[in-house]
Structure 1
Amino acid sequence: MGSGDTALPVTLDRSSEVPLAVQLADALRESAASGHLRGGDRLPSTRALAGRLGVSRTVTSAAYEQLHAEGWIAGRHGSGTYVTTSPPTGRPARTAVVARDAVPPDLLVLTPGVPWADGLDRAAWRRAWRAAADAPPTLYAPRGGLPEYRAAVVEHLLRHRGLAAGTESVLATGGTTAAVVELANAVLRPGDVVAMEEPGYQRAVQAFRRAGLTVVPVGVDSEGLRPAEVPAGARAVYCSPAHQYPMGSRMSASRRVELVERARAEDFLLIEDDYDGELRYDVAPLPLLVSLAPDVVAHLGTTSKILTPVLGAGWMVAPPSVTSAVLEYRDATGTRPSPAGQRVLVELARHGDLGRHLRRLRRELSERRSLLVTALRAAGIRVLGDDAGAHLVVPLPSAEDERARIAAGREHGLLLDGLRRHFTGPATAHGVTVGYAGCSREALQGALGVLVDLLWGQRG
């Protein structure tokens, strides 16, 4: 390399499928973007660089031509080739992105929101995917969801949630959070007030806030959300009446009526999150809020708790004005739920596998809950939550106590969750939420002794 040329830290991988010219262009571009090369630095000639790297001049010439076209370098007649662009000032250091959902392999997952995916019948699962893959490729995915999927949801809601809905009121969604994003952007407007149960589902809170909405927390107790605390002027109220998340209570009939009457009188939308409404063990699954007031309720359901989140399949049952606004939003943004998960659910329902799985799921989780509650109460440990779903709550006296129990759990190989992260504002309740679906029954039984010891100080 001649005098004045900038040293280049370039290494080419000849075993890679990426062409050498592309590798070289990428390396030089990264050097310029990172600041190793700056505007005004002279590069070696294509011939000199080819000799240094042991490649043909064709490779270096192609790389320089690409960077010249992008504006990173320029040639000066009789002088050489120079870098033209310096990196932006204050360029942040590149950091590794760690997946928030990653769980250390040595921890037993006892957090809420995790389904019993291991309980899926593998033969039925494979059969459903094979049948789904037999569908011919299409150029267009219906914006409301596959007709056969919407029909399967209608049948599911009638059989397992007691709701008689027409397919015209049902839309496929990508899951609860995806549906909330659509409602926040299609139905509500920036600046609108959304009343949100507190503690509650924080992904919904973030979806509302990112759409420019104002989230106002509303307290919950043993009867669910308190309607009297919904502020005047609210445009929507988000709640989980069948099994409040995360406290586990059900909304009383009187509060449901009060909430519906206010929604009609004050013209706001009730967003009903029925995330695990199929999982009831003491009585039949509770009637849906949308069955009481289909004119003011947008009902959201999902397969993520009864099957697995990887399907990315859910549904919305809502008034015509809401479904029309969501469909217009999908047209405007070019977004719509993927048909793959929809087709799998259709096949599971068509062969009766979905119904069989739900019966098995209820039986298994009911027995796990009984096992867990019996062990905790035998030690004098208080337990909150209805006989439903896949988690329970052990209340604690303070935030410090909550943090200490969760940390102690990790030290003993248990991944637990606390109430604090479910609050938008300051936590007014403290405790540990214990999920019992994300591991095997044998692992749960093996962890009972350690779990009771960790929580025993809360007895009485």
Structure 2
Amino acid sequence: MDLPPLPLDRTAGRPLAVQLADALRAATADGTLCAGDRLPSTRALAATLGVSRTVTAAAYDQLLAEGWAQGRRGSGTYVVGAPAGPPARVRTPATATAPPERALVDLTPGTPCVSALDRAAWRRAWRAAADPAPDIGPDAVGLEAFRVVVVEHLLRHRGLPADPADLLATAGSTAAIGELARTLPAGARVAVEEPGYQRATAALRDAGLVVASVPVDAAGLVVEALPRGLAAVYCTPAHQYPTGSRLSAARRVALVERARAEGFLVLEDDYDGELRYDVAPLPLLAALGPDVVVHLGTASKLLTPTLGAGWLVAPPAVRDALLEARERSGGRPGRAGQRVFAAFGAHGDLARHLRRLRRELAGRRAAVGATVLAAGLSVAGDAAGAHVVVPLPDATTERAAVAAAAARGVRLDGLARHHAGIPAGAGIVLGYAGPARDELERALPVVADVLAGP
């Protein structure tokens, strides 16, 4: 008979005979082999699988002992019946397949605007990234070409002077936060914004750190509310996530001064700092306090998470600690995404993309603002980034709006999800970058109706 595929992994720790017996059992359990089927001889199966006859004989002996198979003198080995277990899968004929449900238009925050990408430039970058020979050794720092492009980007678009030697490649902001957290003493206390980026909070806690929530308001993180005895403060000063506020100039100075006086680090997550539509952004914290600030950036919101590429600029002691940890653990960011990002930025495509992205998102933000205004509400936060917050009167209204939108094909995000503790306010965090333009236009009337209420 024709047997189903019987994969054997010679690098696994389990004996090949055990793997073969398991595979034959599984084929019986799912109905591929049926009672009465004749199995090939041990010699023929060994030749087919490229193993010794000892392996196939041992597998058959095990199945015979279990009663799953039966030997018949002069005839061969036969399947007796399927062992007890879950029912076999039933295949539905293709003609009976129900049409897939239409996906919700996703207006949650955190998704990049990939429709703004010039696909020709994107393909050129991938082709150029494939030109170098494959790497044969590890790289804990990051490709020089990647670091050179990032440094130019930071200077031109974020006003941060840096040297390629000062910069480390990362696998993105959240991964970098996890790396940084593991360089801090176990049990150390780290302050985070409330509401804030919950993945960052999870990364800090996973590293064994104690997280202290600190409130934010219209001027960003409330610096005077920071407790004493901190090892670090994590914040999103350029465009607070999720409220959209901007850390004021006075609070920036106060935060850097406290960091110097009290000996803690400031982890500055600049996840979408390039995206402003009204005025130039305030100086980065890393420019004000390069001795106490770790600047984090990512390609995820600028281009796409596909690259898995990010960067950090940090004081020398922090860089040295990170490199030591990477060498010790063997962890390091992947270089494929770095190569693509470097190629994309090498001939001006990155700068052109950023100009196009700003124009596209500015238009989308205006459309979202008009929709919210038509519902009799307003948006909170700076004219920046790729999401706005629509304040609502209470948590019940927030939950009702999310449910009503989902019932009409639109996924919304409630503000409650972004709190580590009891939410201090209610609202919708409305992202507008992810959908295609026609999807956004189709979804906005639904948003207006839902926010307007019954």
Q: Which amino acid aligns with 1:326?
A: L
1:326 to 315, 322, 328: 322
Secondary structure of 1:152's partner? helix
What is the alpha-carbon distance in structure 1 between the residues aligned to residue 19 and residue 235 of structure 2? 50
Counterpart for residue 391 of structure 1: 387
- Which of the numbers 337, 354, 358 marks the counterpart of 1:358? 354
- 1:173 matched residue in structure 2: 170
State how far apart, in whole Å, the 2-side matches of 1:150 and 1:57 are.
58
The within-5 A match list for 1:129-208 is 129-185=126-182, 187-208=183-204
Query: Measured at CA, do residues 207 and 53 of structure 1 come closer, stay the same or move farther in structure 2, by a change above 3 Å?
Result: farther
Distance in 1 of aligned mates of 2:212 and 2:52: 55
Contact 2:169 2:311 in 1 (8 A): yes
Change (3 A) 1:60 1:440: closer
2:284 corresponds to: 288
Q: Which runs of 4+ in 1 moved over 4 A?
A: 19-25, 30-33, 49-52, 59-70, 80-83
Q: How far apart are residue 24 of structure 1 and its match? A: 8.0
Distance 1:393 1:244 in 2: 11
Describe the shift of the 1:428–1:68 C-alpha distance in structure 2 as closer, same or farther (beyond 3 A).
farther
Contact 1:160 1:285 in 2 (8 A): no
- The answer as to whether partners of 2:104 and 2:411 remain within 8 angstroms in 1 is yes
Distance verdict in 2 for CA 1:270–1:143, change over 3 Å = same
Question: Cα gap change, 1:293/1:17 in structure 2, threshold over 3 Å: closer, same or farther?
Answer: same
Matches of 1:368 and 1:23, distance apart in 2: 58
**Distance in 2 separating the partners of 1:200 and 1:59:** 63
Residues 19/303 of structure 1: CA separation in 2 closer, same or farther (3 Å cut): closer
Give the structure 2 partner of residue 56 of structure 1. 41
Q: Aligned residue for 1:346?
A: 342
CA distance in 1 between counterparts of 2:65 and 2:437 reads 67
SS at match of 2:453: helix
Partner of 1:14: 3
Distance (whole Å) between structure 2 residues aligned to residue 67 and residue 216 of structure 1: 60
Superposition deviation, residue 396 in structure 1: 1.5
Matching of residue 298 in structure 1 with residue 283 in structure 2: no
The one-letter amino acid paired with 1:190 is: A
TM-score where L is the length of structure 1: 0.82
The 5 A counterparts of 1:80-95 are: 81=65
- Cα distance in 2 between the residues matched to 1:332 and 1:68: 45
CA contact (8 A) 1:114 1:438 kept: yes
For residues 87-126 of structure 1, the aligned pairs below 5 Å read: 105-126=102-123
C-alpha deviation, 1:369, in angstroms: 0.4
Between the aligned partners of 1:141 and 1:104, the Cα distance in structure 2 is 45
The gaps in structure 1 that reach 5 residues or longer are 1-11, 37-48, 84-92, 94-102
Do 1:50 and 1:59's aligned partners in 2 also have CA atoms closer than 8 Å? no
Match of 2:406 among 396, 407, 410: 410
Q: Pick from 228, 233, 240 the counterpart of residue 229 of structure 2.
A: 233
Tell me by how many angstroms 1:74 deviates.
7.9
In the aligned structure 1, how far is the partner of 2:101 from the partner of 2:323? 40
Q: Give me the whole-angstrom Cα distance separating, in 2, the residues matched to 1:402 and 1:450.
A: 15
SS in 1 for 2:401: helix
Deviations 1:107-144 (A, max 9, x none): 11111000111211111000000000001111113211
Contact persistence 2:142–2:335 (CA under 8 A) = yes
Q: Which residue of 2 aligns with 1:419?
A: 415
Contact 1:141-1:338 within 8 A present in 2 as well:
no
Note closer, same or farther for the CA distance 1:17–1:127 as it changes in structure 2 (3 Å cut): farther
What does residue 380 of structure 1 align with? 376
CA contact (8 A) 1:143 1:336 kept: yes
TM-score, normalised to structure 2's length?
0.83
Deviations 1:270-317 (A, max 9, x none): 000000000000101331110000000000000100100010010000
C-alpha contact (below 8 Å) 2:239/2:272 kept by paired residues: yes
Please list every run of 5 or more consecutive structure 2 residues that lacks an aligned counterpart in the other structure: 68-85, 87-99
CA apart distance, 1:165: 0.7
**Equivalent residue for 2:440?**
444
Deviations 1:152-200 (A, max 9, x none): 1110000110111111211000000110111011x21210011010111
* Counterparts of residues 39-50 of structure 1 (less than 5 Å): none
Whole-Å separation in 2 of the counterparts to 1:270 and 1:69:
62
Distance 2:44 2:166 in 1: 60
What's the RMSD between the two structures over aligned residues? 3.1
CA distance, structure 1, for counterparts of residue 281 and residue 304 of structure 2: 20
**CA drift at 1:26:** 3.7
Q: Distance in 2 between matches of 1:278 and 1:361?
A: 10
Aligned to 1:99: none
Q: What is the CA–CA distance in structure 2 between the aligned matches of 1:69 and 1:149, rounded to whole Å? A: 54
CA displacement, residues 356-381 of structure 1 (integer Å, 9 cap, x when unaligned): 00000001100110111022113321
Alignment partners' CA distance in 2, 1:169 and 1:68: 61
Q: Structure 1 residue 52: deviation in Å?
A: 5.5
Equivalent AA in structure 1 for residue 227 of structure 2: P
C-alpha deviation, 1:425, in angstroms: 1.3
Residues 205 and 211 in structure 2, CA contact (< 8 A), matched pair in contact too? yes
- CA change 1:68–1:120 in 2 (3 A) is same
Aligned pairs, number: 409
Residue by residue over 1:301-355, the C-alpha shift from the partner in whole angstroms, topping out at 9 and shown as x without a partner, is 0010010001001000000000001111110111111111111111111111000
The answer to whether the aligner puts 1:453 opposite 2:449 as a matched pair is yes
Identity of aligned residues (%): 53
Residues 450 and 358 of structure 1: CA distance in aligned 2, closer, same or farther (over 3 Å): same
**Which one-letter code corresponds to 1:439 in the other structure?**
P
Contact 2:43–2:53 (Cα < 8 Å) also in 1: no
Partner secondary structure for residue 434 of structure 1: strand
